[in-house]
Structure formats: C-alpha cells, structure tokens
Structure 1
Amino acid sequence: MKQLYDLEMFAKTLTDKGYDGYFHTEAAYADKLKDSINGFLEACEKGTDKPMLPNILLLKTYLQWNGDDKPKVECNMWVKYENGSFDVQEMDIERTDRYGQLLKQSKLTNLTTGSVPTVKEAIAQVSEKPKEQTVSRKRGFRM
C-alpha cells in the first residue's frame, strides 16, 4: 500500500534523502522544496496559476551543478497531489553537457516517496564510470 505524505513529511523525507537544493514547481516558484510547493498552491488558491496536469505537480531541481562549463545532472519528479497529500510517481534523471546535449538519461516509474533513490544513487545512475588506466610497461630488457 502506498503511503501518502502531507507537505511537511513529504519535504522532510526528500530532504533526508539529499534533495535539499532549490526546486521549481510547475516551472516557477524557485525556492526550497516546501516553500516552492507552498507558493504554487497559494497561487492556485488565488486563481493565478493551475497545474498543467490534474492532481500532478512537476518538480524540477539540479542534483549536481559544478558551473556553466561543466556537465550537470537535473531531476524532474512527477508528484501526485490529492487532498493535501503528496506522493512521487515518476522521476527523470538527465546528465547533460555544458551545451545542454543529453549525455545519459534514466527514467524511474512506479515510484513512491519512500522508494525514491537518494541523491547519490540518482547521480550514480547517469554518471560515467571512470575508465581504468593501465600503467604502461617499458618494453625491453633492463640490465
């Protein structure tokens, strides 16, 4: 059975897994996770914004950022929202180069908030494994 989380527990669970950076909720409201979602929900109550998909929120964040001239890892989460309860449904993790070209991608489906990987595990899914370097051997005889 899937456990639904209120906003406080949802934010705490993801923060404990390392998702402690800034988020965009529905491509706006840049802030920490809880504040970003709160900002979006307040705008919905006022009638100034609405979700792109009914009962689904799109959250976007960077998992790894080392500057504009380095590759970066982005994460998109599709979160089910019903009656004040939240639960992660899907997650896309993308590693792109400095020009925005996709290097590697991972799509996770049938998730729950409890089964979301930690930030380190998510980054590892799209990271390049370091190539083993062999030590060059000098050829010939030594005297």
Structure 2
Amino acid sequence: MKQLLDLNTFAKTLTEKGYDGYFQTEGAYPDKIKDSISRFLEACKNGTDKPLQPGSFSLRTYIEWNGDDKPKVDCYMRVRYENNKFDVQKMNIERTDQYGHLMKQSKLTDLSTGSVPTSKEAVALVSDTPKQKLSSQGRRFRM
C-alpha cells in the first residue's frame, strides 16, 4: 500500500521536486500548493465546495512558462485524499502552443508522491528533442 502524507510533508516533497509555482485545486483557489489545498479543504468543510470525485481532487500548475506568446507546459495531478493524508495517483503533463493547441502530452499512472518525476524530468517528457544532424561527410562514394 502506498504511504499517504500529511499536508506539510506532501507540499514539501512536491516543492523539493521543483513544483514550486502557483496551483489551482479543483479549478479554483490559486495559491502556493499548501495554501491552495488548505483553502479548498476549508471550503469543503464549510459546505461551499466539494471534490468532483469522492476521495480525490485535482491539482494544476504550470511547470514551464515563458510568456503568453510561447509554448507552455501544464501539469495536472489527481491526488488521493483520506483522513487529512495525501498521495499523488496520476499525472498528465501537456505542452501546448500559445493558442492552447496540444503539441505533446504524457500520462503517468500508478504513481505515488515519492515516484512523481521532478519538474525538469516532466518537462523533458513533453519536449521535442532535437534530431541529430547526420554528417554528410561520410556519405560520399569513394573509389
């Protein structure tokens, strides 16, 4: 069984892996990860909000942003929530162009918070690697 982490440890682990930007929990509550989740849980407690799927919620953040006119990389996480403990279950990483069109995506399933890739590794999963340029030097026919 995967280990569930308290909010402080969960937030610290993801922050150390490079997910240190602003998040949205269930599409709202923009803030740093710990504050965003706390605000969402408080709203659930007050009855003003509820998770779309019982026992889990979504987190979204940009892991690469170079301006409105450049491609960007989004990260969507499905987080299991049980008795004030958290664990990442799934992760979708998407590179989109400046118009929002999908360029490349990667879906990671059966994850735990410990096995989540670093933000740099996640960006690399959806980045286009430059193709090696073949040297034309050795392609000539020689007699």
| Counterpart in the other structure of 1:47 | 47
Deviation larger for 95-104 or 124-133: 124-133
CA-based RMSD: 1.3
Q: Which consecutive segments of 4 or more residues in structure 1 shift more than 3 A? A: 131-137
Give the structure-2-normalised TM-score. 0.92
What's 1:71 paired with?
71
The whole-number CA distance in structure 2 between the counterparts of 1:131 and 1:2 is 39
Quick check: 1:110 aligned with 2:97? no
CA distance in 2, matches of 1:3, 1:12: 15
Number of matched pairs: 137
Structure 1 residue identity aligned to 2:70: K
Q: Which structure 1 segments of 5+ residues have no match?
A: 138-143
Q: Structure 2 CA distance, aligned partners of 1:130 and 1:79?
A: 33
Cα distance in 2 for residues equivalent to 1:78 and 1:115? 14
1:56 and 2:56 matched: yes
Gaps of 5+ in 2: 138-143
Match of 2:28 in 1: 28
CA drift of 1:133 comes to 4.5
- Give the corresponding residue for 1:5: 5
Matched, 1:129 2:133: no
